[in-house]
Amino acid sequence: MRRRAFISLLGGAATWPLAARAQQSGKLPTIGFLGQSTRLAQSEWVAAFVQRLHEFGWLEGRTVTINYRWAEGREERYAELAAELVRLKVDVIVTSGTPAVIASKRLTSTIPIVFATAVDPVENNLVASLARPDGNVTGLSVQQGDLVGKRIELLREVAPNIHRLAILANVGNAGAALEMGKVQTIVSPLGLQVITSAIRRAEDIAPAFDEFEGQADALYVCGDGLTSAYKTRISTLALKLRLPAIFANREFAEAAGLMSYGPNFPGLYRRAAELVDKILRGTKAAEIPVEQPTKFDLVINLTTAKALGLEVPPTLLARADEVIE
């Protein structure tokens, strides 16, 4: 056998048993993907997830089926969509965000659930502990309390004369509501006046900015599926009111938001795919510790900064993982 052919055969060895097993059973292993927002808004995250599965030999439509459901930023749809996936008897549910995980967990105690991101999962009763999740849920935790202080610090570096901070949060999301409270706790000793706006649906976004107009000089947006689905609208309204704003993930900065600081979401979805691979190969969710990201991206939109009349310190630009011009 030629060396090249032998190497090629080895490369396919990892995928062959998966396809063979699927053919023998007559049914491909099935992943239920419950998205917080829209396919377009999460396209980069989905691509990272699917690509990582591919690297493990899970080829969509050939060795695995993926059933997608999209909540479009409407949390009231989580239970309905999760119920659909449970009825389909998927082998694992992949989702993100505390409300989506809670909705899925209420509907099944047997189907494994992997969250690509969730805020403080122990505090929100998603798992018993990070080291020993127990139950049928595991994934990747974003400890927002550790990130809030850093985001405030970064915002004040760009806009040092902040006196009144607006906070926008979807309070229907337990994680976002928790984050809002932590923002208030952290800025209180700094002498900043806080203006909060609790939203629950897309129709609440414009009225929230009406409340901010003339009352705030900076904005903190708590990340979740609703705000992500409407990131362009939120970023545009912040720019219109000339509010320097900080966000949870890079997609906001790409949509004309001033800056973002948080974990790399495509990276989280790649890691979620690795956890799904373990589960599809027989590992129980209860045996997979919840992980925390170690890499956080700072993205600065220099075009937006100039439009706001802000001069970003060169030292901050040097620390940025990406500068959008």
Domain spans in the chain, listed from the N-terminal domain onward: 3-142+264-294, 144-263+297-324
pTM of the complete model: 0.80
Whether the Cβ atoms of residue 194 and residue 224 lie closer than 8 Å to each other: no
Has domain 144-263+297-324 been given CATH number 3.40.50.2300? yes
Residues paired with residue 33 on neighbouring β-strands, in sequence order: 68, 94
Q: Identify the pLDDT of residue 41.
A: 83
For 140-174, letters b (16+ CB in 10 Å) and e give bbbbbbebbeebbebbbebbeebeebbbbbbbbbb
- pLDDT (tens, 9 = 90+) of the chain, 325 residues, equals 333 333 333 344 344 444 444 444 568 999 999 998 888 888 999 999 999 999 999 999 999 999 999 998 888 899 999 999 999 999 999 999 888 999 999 999 999 999 999 888 888 889 999 999 999 999 999 876 679 999 999 999 999 999 999 999 999 888 888 899 999 999 999 999 999 999 999 999 999 999 999 999 999 999 888 898 899 999 999 999 999 999 998 999 999 999 999 999 899 999 999 999 999 999 999 999 999 988 899 999 999 999 999 999 999 999 999 999 9
Q: Identify the pLDDT of residue 3.
A: 37
Q: Identify the pLDDT of residue 146.
A: 73
> How many CA atoms within 13 Å lie on the side-chain side of 296?
18
The pair of structure tokens assigned to 45 is: 């995250």
Residue type at 322 in one-letter notation = E
**Fold match flag (3-142+264-294 vs 144-263+297-324):** yes
Q: Residue 68: phi, psi to the nearest 5?
A: -95, 140
CATH number for the 3-142+264-294 domain, one of 3.40.50.2300, 3.40.640.10, 1.10.10.10, 3.30.390.30?
A: 3.40.50.2300
Helix (H) or strand (E) holding 117: strand 113-119
Please name the residues in contact with 207: beta carbons below 8 A apart, sequence gap of 6 or more: none
